[in-house]
A and B are shown apart, each in its own frame.
Chain A
């Protein structure tokens, strides 16, 4: 009887905790949706902020978030995947590889504000200023810019991408590697023709999830590139020679507005925080929506991956 009671109690407690997690998520999403739905309009999504950012839209922030996320992917994904391939396929279980593995895991646990400070110190002040010194002339690289913000975010998501990719690579059965080696394939041929094709969707799924985490981060870009208020888009017009035409291009050396930072400043730095409340909610809804899109695509990929595994 006593054992039965304990069983019932334990089960209810576990169920309650699980429900609490679900409820918290639902509450958060519901409050964002209810608060933000009224401010979402075509104008809100496509216009610039006006009147001290108490009215108008958030298009520059959406644009900045998309640009910096894409730039972060370009910087982090190849680097992370290559590092994981080296760790799993080449380094084996040497002392060096164990040290690398440990530091990658530790890097994943570093608070994001530390990455922000590292970004200023390393990318803006060291790399940027050094480039300026070599180039001569005034300040060009040595100031906060989209490039440095994206690089800082890339460093933040790098360990997560590496860990996820390493996991996907380790999941490829050893017997397939052996078969490939036994046929006279080199290590690189084995990686490219046998391991990577099988690990591809796993790598993508993991990477998208880590990227969606990075896309919502504020602290790393705080000092490295995002602007309080920048009503124009970070574009530069490139002239095509002899035609007199010019094409707009994203300028990675410009500053930019970003959704999470926009929420942060409107909630804490605005002269009239109450007046901007609908915009805060609306911006949050857009940010959550964008990261949700990334997560959905990861889930979609994972389902496909699982099917492929089961077909084996």
Chain B
């Protein structure tokens, strides 16, 4: 059996055992169906705290559904059926009576296409704190500045906080969306192919940000781009046809996968 060709070298600065952190999110034999289509079947997966977990797999394999099930956005505007469990710190998030507002405050999300509201830059970041009533008027400005700094956008927009967010470039808009998420002080940040609409330079900036975010947040990123998964993540999960094929340290998945299908996918034989 030939060794798979490595697409990108995972950074060596990784802690030796990234899976050792306690699980922040865990899937237990979870199946997820839309009205007529089964999207995920029997997924069991642990997402360690304060680590970056990448989800890779070909189009339609259920990657998006998997992360959108963590903040229960997948079910908006449609009927879904969920079996098994998804837990956030041991709490079953699909239990009846789950407080979705609280869940989504704790689990933020960055979407595939930057989707700032047609409001000012300031109002976009202030949206979360406003709806949660978590900051007073003076605090609000501090929260907005802090979030924009965290998203590495402050220097570029500090003089035009009150101009429309839609005047920003695509990459800036995505960082604004990240600031908007950070402003509600989440514990987990989900990213659904956050760079697929961005140019390489903007992509690099987002990747740098992910590196910083892993100090304090649990990040789950879906990506089409295997080099990106190798660059930014500690752990990688490979999904195929709604099933979890393999999960492990990113370095291992990309250098020495145990499943033949993983090897075929990362070496570009399909997908």
Partner-B contacts on A (CB < 8 A):
92, 173-186, 189, 193-194, 197-198, 308, 311-312
Query: B40: CB under 8 A from chain A?
Result: no
Instruction: Give the docked Cα–Cα distance between A97 and B118 (Å).
Output: 29
Interface check B104, CB cutoff 8 A: yes
Q: Bound state CA distance, A279 and B104, in angstroms?
A: 66
Complex: how many Å from CA A173 to CA B166? 14
Residues of B within 8 A of A184 (CB): 100-105, 128, 131-132, 184
Given A92-B77, A178-B76, decide whether A183 and B115 contact each other with a Cβ distance below 8 A: no
Expressed in whole angstroms, the minimum distance between the Cβ of A2 and any Cβ of chain B is: 49
Q: Could you jot down 10 A-B contacts, CB within 8 Å?
A: A173-B115, A174-B77, A175-B113, A179-B111, A180-B127, A182-B109, A183-B127, A183-B180, A193-B127, A311-B118
Contact B104 A183 (CB under 8 A): yes
Which chain A positions have C-beta within 8 A of B177? Answer: 179
Taken together as a complex, chains A and B put the C-alpha atoms of A173 and B116 apart, in Å, by: 11
Main secondary structure of the interface of A (DSSP, over half): helix
Interchain CA distance A308-B166 in the complex, whole Å: 11
Is B108 positioned at the interface, with any CB of A under 8 Å from its CB? yes
Q: Is the CB of A182 within 8 A of B104?
A: yes
- A177 cross-chain contacts in B, Cβ below 8 A: 76
Residues of A within 8 A of B71 (CB): 182
Please give, as numbers and ranges, the residues of chain A lying within 8 Å of B130 by CB-CB distance: 193
Q: Verify A178–B101 contact, CB threshold 8 A.
A: no
- Closest residue of chain B to A308 (Cβ to Cβ) is B118
Q: Is the CB of B164 within 8 A of A189?
A: no
* Assembly CA distance A180 to B104 (angstroms): 10
Measured in the bound complex, the distance between the Cα atoms of B72 and A181 in whole Å is 10
Once bound together, how far apart are the Cα atoms of A184 and B101, in whole Å?
Answer: 4
Q: Give the residues from 59 to 95 in chain B that come closer than 8 angstroms, CB to CB, to chain A.
A: 71, 73, 76-77
- 5 more A-B residue pairs beyond the given contacts A175-B115, A183-B131, with a C-beta to C-beta distance below 8 A: A178-B111, A183-B108, A184-B104, A184-B131, A194-B117
B247 contacts A by Cβ under 8 Å: no
A311-B164 contact in complex given A182-B109, A184-B104, A184-B132, C-beta closer than 8 Å: yes
A180–B111 Cα distance when bound, in Å, is: 12
Please report the C-alpha to C-alpha distance between residue A179 and residue B131 in the assembled complex, in whole angstroms.
Answer: 13
Is B181 an interface residue when CB atoms closer than 8 A count as contact? yes
Report if A179-B115 is in contact (Cβ < 8 Å); known contacts: A184-B102, A184-B128.
yes
The reply to whether A312 and B166 form a contact with Cβ atoms under 8 Å apart is yes
CB distance from A156 to the nearest CB of B (A): 32
Residues of chain B within 8 A of A311, CB atoms compared = 118, 164, 166
Interfacial chain B residues near A180, Cβ < 8 Å:
117, 127
Q: Which residues of A contact B181 (CB under 8 A)?
A: 182-183
